[in-house]
Structure 1
């Protein structure tokens, strides 16, 4: 059922993309915005018509009209605004990873892995670290929206594959947003008695409106919510150690005291779900066109995001399994609140409130990311013109944002949390594998396909480990 579900997410996007290549090439005149007509399709590229072609008709003419490229006579469209600095970018990345990983999935991971759950997080972090290296290298080279699609196109020189990857990334963001929407219900319903379908609808509509207001307003809102999220986790960590330090240390040592061979499979399988908790750093590259000096800011931003996330996950997971236990975590609708209650020092209501903000922050960030991917694909001449529409006042891709929100709502109302999380991870495994391979291909091509000419062996070895890790987790998830 997993493959059909993932495919269903992509149906509307693949239909649009297929139109790019399957529509008939019959000649007919098209007048571009601003006047003038197109050239013949002798050598279509993204810069416009060949100056030596005769004006007239053809496929490239229709294609440029369809994707909204500008002729020399056309008018420039509003662009995304560069408003994000290093702190905002780090908080943007932390907002989606921390919110989804701990406040929503800590209960399911703890129930699945028991005392091994902290080490499932560590394994997932070790497997994802090489991929963060690849993304940091590639975003410096290509700081554009729909970054993964661009990386794959540059690496494999296959436009169709770039389109597929772009659609997969957008789909992962949409599914992830739906996952967090479903996961947030338990926290919100502790404060407001609203039926789940209505609550999910209200959440998505409100945060779609915020995403449309502008990247700076959205990023500042996300930053404030992220600081509150991290503060809540620090309260859990501090409260856990103060309330029962011996139990926490015992929880860290328990896996080694009870280790058996089957534990390797248990940790590996749990790492698939824990891997989802780290999904988010790659979202950062899709706001590259809204970041000041992306070449300087992105490498440290990605590294800081991963480091802070893994430390928080390990400590909170250890405290949760030590103070609450495996079975209770699996049954808890708001697991962080239950952990807070067991410390005896922190108000469960306070942590429930922070859990609401954490989950909602993840929804906002994923909607932003997925809309930027569709916008970027449109700008790269892979998707229709209307997806690249940027509002002249807010400088946000309004149409793409609304479409992302609509699909998110359908998924959130139709599918359970665990299925959504698994599907997001599986999509991301494919994307990570191909992005790692793209960095290897680009590096070898620049070295004339001679390994001895590669400036540093690590630029080949690290993404190779990343690709192997992603493939391994994908295979485990399918067993």
Structure 2
């Protein structure tokens, strides 16, 4: 049995793929996802997933509660870990241009049991992330409707019926977070229709929010007060609260923002030329997003003292504080633009997350680890439509009824484990299959791969120490599903 658990999926050298040509990416030698994405699409998908929740929500929370102005340093730390993992993702994605992301990579290197565990972590990552961001999207929309447009919106229809307080669930006055449910339903419908349409809409959204962020940086820098950056690293006041301990804690929280790099790799099965385009998509989006994050954090904490940024809309809050201090400041229009940009930006994050999760299920179903229904591809739209519907329904329920605070850090934990596994997988495959064609190779793999593993696991432990009960429960549930269904129906085990 132990041998079966760690049996690896055969890896064949990847041939050159042009648009429209089939690729044998699954165990039974078939893949019917439509190849339509270029390097530009992939970069925009990465930027679409990354530039959103991190800037518009998480930067303020992490700065106010953990890092202070040193949130910039937290993004450098998180960006370093992502750079290590991004290089490893680029090698895997160019070598194995198939859907499935870290799940497919770990199946080919570390065995079926590890692949299932990582696939289950990716469910935690994508499904919960789309719901988490939908709740944030709802907050910005309601703020825009009530504050900017003066339109009333019932509070009971904008918050979940339960919240997390004092270590347990507590009832609220809310009925359902209706806007969050509606945005998930709308985006799920878009993903159902097709990847090309989804990428086109995402390109428009990315353009809008990048313009808004550029405007914030350009106009906001005029109101920066260097005194707000002192002290750069506030004195430690407790575990994970300021000091370097808080900087590392904040780095774990903002890692939520880097999910997009994994999402890019899940689209490898639909890239026109994955050997050339996947490294460009992953590393290009990594470089762009890290620079943007650090710049925004610098302006944000320079405009407003970090203690005032612990809101769900820190960028808008910073502009509000400028207006309070100087009513004549010409940033009122920018606040409205930021709200619109946040609504668009968070929409694109939801889009990429809901595109990615059904494709994880698709790959797992093709390998027999999930029911066959998840592997069905729509005859007209060429999308994993059944998985898209199921994921959409589950995400609607989570977004409508679960509190934001319970989901956020669990997403970061799933992301960090997936990243660590990919770094380890590249290292293992360099020794076990040195003959494979690698259009992109990690430079100094003997150093970058181990450093990537250690960096990701170090950040993972920052959250695990506080939320270990929830994560262990999620892992146990996944193992029960695997041994009840996946282990018995594994195509790799049946062919052995």
What's the TM-score once normalised by structure 1's chain length?
A: 0.78
Superposition pairs for residues 370-381 of structure 1, below 5 Å?
A: 370-381=357-368
Question: Does 2:325 correspond to 1:345?
Answer: no
**Could you say which residue in structure 2 is the equivalent of 1:462?**
448
The one of 312, 336, 344 aligned to 2:315: 336
**Could you say which residue in structure 1 is the equivalent of 2:192?**
212
Q: Which has the larger radius of gyration?
A: 1
**Could you say which residue in structure 1 is the equivalent of 2:204?**
224
**Could you say which residue in structure 2 is the equivalent of 1:477?**
463
Q: Any stretches of 5+ residues in structure 1 without a counterpart?
A: 1-19, 22-44, 48-67, 449-454
Question: Does 2:98 correspond to 1:140?
Answer: no
Superposition pairs for residues 387-398 of structure 1, below 5 Å?
A: 387-398=374-385
Q: Is the 8 A contact 1:138 1:151 kept in 2?
A: yes
Question: Compared with structure 1, are the counterparts of its residues 380 and 118 closer, same or farther at alpha carbon in structure 2 (3 Å cutoff)?
Answer: same
Question: Does 2:74 correspond to 1:97?
Answer: no
Supply the distance in 2 between the matched residues of 1:382 and 1:46 (Cα, whole angstroms): 16
Supply the distance in 1 between the matched residues of 2:213 and 2:302 (Cα, whole angstroms): 16
Say how many residue pairs are matched.
400
* 1:210 Cα offset (Å): 0.8
Supply the distance in 2 between the matched residues of 1:391 and 1:288 (Cα, whole angstroms): 19
The one of 83, 87, 108 aligned to 2:36: 83
Deviations 1:395-450 (A, max 9, x none): 111100111112212222343223211000111222122211111111122359xx
* 1:354 Cα offset (Å): 1.1
Q: Is the 8 A contact 2:87 2:442 kept in 1?
A: no
Supply the distance in 2 between the matched residues of 1:254 and 1:81 (Cα, whole angstroms): 53
**Could you say which residue in structure 2 is the equivalent of 1:34?**
none
**Could you say which residue in structure 2 is the equivalent of 1:369?**
356
**Could you say which residue in structure 2 is the equivalent of 1:125?**
79
**Could you say which residue in structure 2 is the equivalent of 1:382?**
369
* 1:456 Cα offset (Å): 8.3
What's the TM-score once normalised by structure 2's chain length?
A: 0.75
Question: Compared with structure 1, are the counterparts of its residues 265 and 273 closer, same or farther at alpha carbon in structure 2 (3 Å cutoff)?
Answer: same
Supply the distance in 2 between the matched residues of 1:362 and 1:152 (Cα, whole angstroms): 25
Q: Is the 8 A contact 1:181 1:363 kept in 2?
A: yes
Supply the distance in 2 between the matched residues of 1:252 and 1:214 (Cα, whole angstroms): 46
**Could you say which residue in structure 1 is the equivalent of 2:167?**
none
Deviations 1:202-246 (A, max 9, x none): 1111111111111010001011101111111111110112x235x
Supply the distance in 1 between the matched residues of 2:123 and 2:410 (Cα, whole angstroms): 13
Q: Is the 8 A contact 2:61 2:312 kept in 1?
A: no
Question: Does 2:244 correspond to 1:264?
Answer: yes
Question: Does 2:290 correspond to 1:303?
Answer: no
Superposition pairs for residues 166-315 of structure 1, below 5 Å?
A: 166-192=119-145, 193=153, 195-196=157-158, 197-241=177-221, 243-245=222-224, 247=225, 254-255=231-232, 263-315=243-295
Q: Any stretches of 5+ residues in structure 2 without a counterpart?
A: 12-25, 146-152, 159-176, 324-328, 436-440, 466-496
Supply the distance in 2 between the matched residues of 1:424 and 1:98 (Cα, whole angstroms): 16
Supply the distance in 2 between the matched residues of 1:201 and 1:208 (Cα, whole angstroms): 11
**Could you say which residue in structure 2 is the equivalent of 1:110?**
63
* 1:251 Cα offset (Å): 5.1
Tell me how large the CA RMSD over aligned residues is: 2.7
* 1:46 Cα offset (Å): 9.7
**Could you say which residue in structure 1 is the equivalent of 2:475?**
none
Question: Compared with structure 1, are the counterparts of its residues 468 and 400 closer, same or farther at alpha carbon in structure 2 (3 Å cutoff)?
Answer: same
